[in-house]
Structure 1
Amino acid sequence: MDFYYLPGSAPCRSVLLTAKNLGIELNKKLLNLMAGEHLTPEFLKINPQHTIPTLVDDGFALWESRAILVYLVEKYGKDDALFPKCPKKQAVVNQRLYFDMGTLYKSLADYYYPQIFAKQPADPELYKKIEVAFDFLNTFLEGNNYVAGDQLTVADLAILASVSTFEVLKFDFSKYANVARWYENAKKIPGWDENWEGCLEFKKFLD
């Protein structure tokens, strides 16, 4: 199973975390975006949107990290623990995945990426959206050990990749007590060490 990725990318790291928790070995293919390797004719044939992460499983190509997470657990999961079959529980997991994509990770990208990659000044209004996102996440975790209820799911893995990126960006989320508690526990999840190594790779863009 070929996996095109960059270790510093939070969406890529969420796939690595999921594969680790499923016991899946990925054939990792590092893609140098700065060198335009995602724009080669060979890669465009695999993924016309030329994005990472991209997974190729026996000729089947899929991109968008959260779609990949669900595909992996539905095809290779030994049970439904990471993605419950119960429609209501599954709906909550999906909601959290979409929350990560459209609110939490989006707030990170909108605020930090222009500063890192385009050397633009910080926008205080965009910073407020990060705080709003963490308020929501803190609420989701009230009385829960995991972001989608009482068990570890792919939603935790996706959000862990995002929140750990906030840590290397030095966003202080200690005032969000439920998030801080969940995050400390999440560091025990299989694959954490590789995830953190990827965070440190991302941190190099800040130097």
Structure 2
Amino acid sequence: MPGLRDDKVELFESGAILLYLSDKYGESNTPEKRADAAKWIVWANAELDGVLFTRDIEVARAPKVLMQLDAILNGKEFLVGNQFSVADVAVASYLLFIPLFHPNFDASRFPNVLQYMDRCASRPAFQKTMGTNALQ
């Protein structure tokens, strides 16, 4: 379980941690930006967690969920404001587990999702944490 201690603040759950960091460091400086990030964090926890961490991803809801995300990502670099944000940390952190947990899953039907995963995985912080060959 992810956890964060920052001075007197103690948090668990990735979504709460991401929103806290976003608020603290100014990314969510308006209610609209915070809501936009929050919807993706909640969506990732509600939709992707149960879909991607099942024994058989093909018979789960993964294709439907990934098809929806693929359509949303059409013409977009990232989820919120076309710049990397905590929303992308939330969503990509689930998606980037697909090759690890489901190496035989054919994601070629979702080209926008694959390109998005590549963009997120090419970020220096991701490569420092996960390595440069994490998607292979």
TM above 0.5: yes
Among all aligned residue pairs of Structure 1 and Structure 2, give the percentage whose two residues are the same amino acid: 25
TM-aligned CA deviation for residue 106 of structure 1: 2.1
Matched residue SS, 1:143: coil
User: Which one of 114, 126, 133 corresponds to residue 192 of structure 1?
Assistant: 126
- Residues 81-160 of structure 1: pairs in structure 2 closer than 5 A: 84-109=28-53, 111-112=54-55, 122=56, 125=59, 127=60, 129-160=61-92
- Paired residues in the alignment total 131
CA distance in 2, matches of 1:150, 1:124: 30
The one-character-per-residue Cα deviations of 1:109-151 (angstroms, maximum 9, x if unpaired) are: 2x13xxxxxxxxx4864x2x11111112112212211022311
Structure 2 partner of 1:67: 16
> Given that residues 2 and 13 in structure 2 are in contact (C-alpha distance below 8 angstroms), is that contact kept between their aligned partners in structure 1?
yes
Question: What is the identity, as a one-letter code, of the residue corresponding to 1:95?
Answer: K
What TM-score, normalized to structure 2?
0.82
> Which consecutive unaligned segments of at least 5 residues does structure 1 have?
1-51, 113-121, 201-207
Which segments of 5 or more consecutive residues in structure 2 lack a partner in the other structure?
A: none
Which residue identity is paired with 2:18?
L
User: Following TM superposition, where does structure 1 have runs of at least 4 consecutive aligned residues deviating by more than 6 angstroms?
Assistant: none
Superposition RMSD in Å: 2.3
